[in-house]
C-alpha cells in the first residue's frame, strides 16, 4: 500500500470511529421546511453496499435544462431535473473521480481510468481525452481556451480546451513521505498559473510555458504538508490553505505572506467583500475579517469536515463528509437547517446551486442525488412532498 493510500485509509478509518462515537452537537437543529425543502432523491449507485463510505468524489453541475453528475459506477450521467429522465449516460471504466467543470458546451473531468476527459454536453460523446496515468486529479480550470489540471503526484498539465492537445506540464518531485489523496485546482490570473503542491509549496507558473516564476513554502511541518486547496485571488491577495496547517493571505505579486490563520483546509475559501469563509479540516466553518483574519463567528459541525460552499446573498449551503447537510446565516453563523443523509453517507463536493430557481443539487457519497428548494417568502406556496427514485 502506497503512502498516499495509507494516509487516505487512516483518515477514512478515523472518521469511521468518529462517526460511531455518536456526536450530535446540534440535536435541536432540524430539516426545517420553512428554510429548505427536499424535493426528490435519485439513487445513482445501485451497487452501493452497507459500510461503503466516501465512494463519490464528483459533483453535480447545471447546464441550462440539464443536470450532469459523475458516478464511480455509472460514469458521466445527464438528466432532466424537472422530470428526472436520463438524457444520456457515458460509461467510463472506474467512473468519474473528480469534480466536473462546464465550459462552452463541454464537460471537463478526470476519469477513474487515468484520463482527463472533455465530453460534449449535448450528446455525451467524448470530444477528446488525454492519458495522465493518474485517476486522481484536481477540479479542472478552463481559462483562455486552455484546460489546467493538477494530479495527485504534483504534475500540472495545460491542454488546448477544444482539441485536448498537450501544451505543457510542470512536474514537482515531492519529498513528502505521506500525502492526502487530492490535488489543488489551478488558478489562472493574468500570465500566472497559481497552484498548491503536496510538499507544502505554493507556486506560480508561466501560463504559456509552465516554467516556474516563484514559489513560497507554506507548511513547515512534516505530517500532511499538502496544499490541496484552490488558491483564491482577490484585491491583490492570494488566499490558500495547507491541509493540517494554516490559511494564508499572500501578496499576489511574489507571494509574500501577509498573515496566517491557524486552521487548515483542503477546500477553497469563499471571499466576499470584507469576509472570508473557511471550510476547515478541523470540523469548523469560520467567518474571518478579510484584512486581519480575526474570527467574526465560527460553527462546529456535528462530525466530519465541510465541503466547498454554495452561497446566496444571505446563506451558506454546504455538506459534511459525515452525514449532514447545513444551511447557515452568513452574517451571524447561525444554523437554520440540518438534513441527515444517514449514518453511512456524507458529501465530498459543493452543491450545484441555481440562483434563478433557488434549487440546489447535492451528490452524496452514499450514491444519492438530492434536490432541495430554498424557501423564498411564504411556505404555504411551496409543496413539501418529495419523491424517491432509483436510477
Nearest residue to 361 (alpha-carbon basis) of 41, 130, 129, 125: 41
Map out the domains of the chain as residue ranges.
31-48+272-391
pLDDT, tens only, 207-229: 999 999 999 999 766 577 889 99
141, 112, 143, 147: which is closest to 127 by C-alpha?
Answer: 147
**In this structure, what C-alpha cell is assigned to residue 216?**
513560497
The mean of the pLDDT values for the chain is 87
| CA 174 – CA 194 distance, rounded (Å) | 17
**Whether the predicted pLDDT of 17 surpasses 90:** no
Question: Per residue in 145-197, pLDDT tens?
Answer: 999 999 989 999 999 999 999 999 999 876 555 566 689 999 999 999 999 99
pLDDT tens per residue, range 24-58: 899 999 999 999 999 999 988 766 555 555 478 89
| Residue whose cell numbers read 452514499 | 366
- Tell whether the model's pLDDT for residue 390 goes beyond 90: no
Q: Which CATH class is domain 31-48+272-391?
A: mainly beta
Q: Cell for 113?
A: 481510468
Amino acid at each position: 500500500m502506497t503512502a498516499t493510500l495509507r494516509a487516505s485509509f487512516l483518515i477514512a478509518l478515523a472518521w469511521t470511529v468518529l462517526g460511531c462515537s455518536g456526536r450530535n452537537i446540534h440535536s435541536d437543529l432540524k430539516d426545517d421546511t420553512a428554510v429548505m425543502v427536499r424535493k426528490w432523491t435519485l439513487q445513482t449507485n445501485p451497487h452501493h453496499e452497507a459500510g461503503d463510505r466516501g465512494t463519490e468524489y464528483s459533483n453535480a453541475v447545471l447546464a441550462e435544462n440539464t443536470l450532469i453528475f459523475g458516478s464511480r459506477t455509472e460514469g458521466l450521467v445527464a438528466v432532466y431535473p424537472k422530470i428526472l429522465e436520463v438524457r444520456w449516460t457515458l460509461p467510463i471504466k472506474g467512473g468519474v473521480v473528480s469534480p466536473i467543470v462546464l465550459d462552452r458546451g463541454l464537460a471537463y473531468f478526470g476519469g477513474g481510468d487515468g484520463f482527463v476527459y472533455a465530453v460534449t454536453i449535448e450528446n455525451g460523446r467524448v470530444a477528446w481525452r488525454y492519458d495522465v496515468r493518474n485517476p486522481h486529479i484536481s477540479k479542472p480550470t478552463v481559462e483562455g481556451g486552455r484546460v489546467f489540471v493538477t494530479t495527485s503526484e504534483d504534475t500540472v498539465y495545460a491542454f488546448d480546451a477544444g482539441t485536448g492537445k498537450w501544451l505543457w506540464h510542470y512536474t514537482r518531485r515531492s519529498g513528502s513521505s505521506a500525502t492526502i489523496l487530492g490535488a489543488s485546482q489551478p488558478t489562472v490570473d493574468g500570465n500566472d498559473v497559481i497552484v498548491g503542491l503536496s510538499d507544502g509549496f505554493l507556486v506560480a507558473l508561466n501560463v504559456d510555458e509552465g516554467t516556474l516564476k516563484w514559489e513560497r513554502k507554506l507548511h513547515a511541518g512534516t505530517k500532511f504538508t499538502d496544499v490541496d486547496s484552490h488558491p483564491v485571488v482577490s484585491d491583490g491577495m492570494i488566499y490558500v490553505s495547507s491541509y493540517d496547517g494554516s490559511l494564508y493571505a499572500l501578496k499576489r505579486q511574489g507571494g509574500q505572506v501577509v498573515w496566517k490563520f491557524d486552521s487548515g483546509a483542503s477546500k477553497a475559501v469563499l471571499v466576499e467583500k470584507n469576509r472570508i469563509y473557511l471550510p476547515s479540516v478541523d470540523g469548523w466553518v469560520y467567518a474571518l475579517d478579510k484584512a486581519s483574519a480575526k474570527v467574526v463567528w465560527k460553527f462546529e459541525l456535528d462530525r466530519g469536515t465541510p465541503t466547498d460552499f454554495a452561497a446566496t446573498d444571505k446563506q451558506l449551503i454546504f455538506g459534511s463528509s459525515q452525514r449532514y447537510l447545513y444551511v447557515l446565516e452568513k452574517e451571524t453563523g447561525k444554523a437554520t437547517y440540518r438534513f441527515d443523509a444517514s449514518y453511512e453517507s456524507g458529501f465530498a463536493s459543493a452543491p450545484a446551486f441555481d440562483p434563478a430557481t433557488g434549487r440546489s443539487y447535492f451528490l452524496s457519497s452514499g450514491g444519492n442525488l438530492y434536490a432541495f428548494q430554498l424557501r423564498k417568502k411564504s411556505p404555504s406556496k411551496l409543496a413539501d412532498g418529495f419523491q424517491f427514485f432509483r436510477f
